[in-house]
Amino acid sequence: MKELKDYVITIPDFPEPGVLFRDITGILQDKDGLHLAIDKLEECLKDLEFDMIVAPESRGFIFGMPIAYNLNKPFVPIRKKGKLPRETVSASYALEYGIAEMEIHKDAIWQGARVVIVDDLIATGGTTDAMIRLVEQLGGEVVKIVFVMELEGLEGRKALSGYQIDSILKYPGK
């Protein structure tokens, strides 16, 4: 049986020379790879008491939604600015090429809700930090953050110190 890392496709020199891009579409395109990823993420949540799963557009949706369904929890989407129809709160975060914003519905998280954040990748931690700020602004408590992959060389965990983090696959570089 294959391990989850066997489904990740490594593409050298993308998007720029010297970068090893870790492509998750190999996981998604294989039924066994997808099952394995979801199962391993769910294992990270074993025995954890929590109320809901929050995940960002779009790859976080891919992994967060089936976990919420399997564990009978609500799923709360965080989307790019301007994509949610009701009243929202927003948080900005830095990108390599500028600043972006994400939003969550203002009524999506109740006071004291115990929240798990699910995403595909932790790199610098900037996007996840913005999600944490949104959850906490609405009165929720982030009790765990789970990722499929972690790029350890970008030290995203440092930006998220104080939070419980699990990643299934860890890559030493950037």
| Catalytic residue numbers, as ranges | 59, 96
Q: Please, are residues 166 and 44 in contact by the beta-carbon 8 Å criterion? A: yes
DSSP 163: S
Distance (Å, whole) CA 67 – CA 24 = 17
Report DSSP letters for 93-135, one per residue. EEETTEEEEEEEETTSS-TT-EEEEEEEEESSSHHHHHHHHHH
Q: Please, are residues 119 and 60 in contact by the beta-carbon 8 Å criterion? A: yes
Q: What is the number of residues in the chain? A: 174
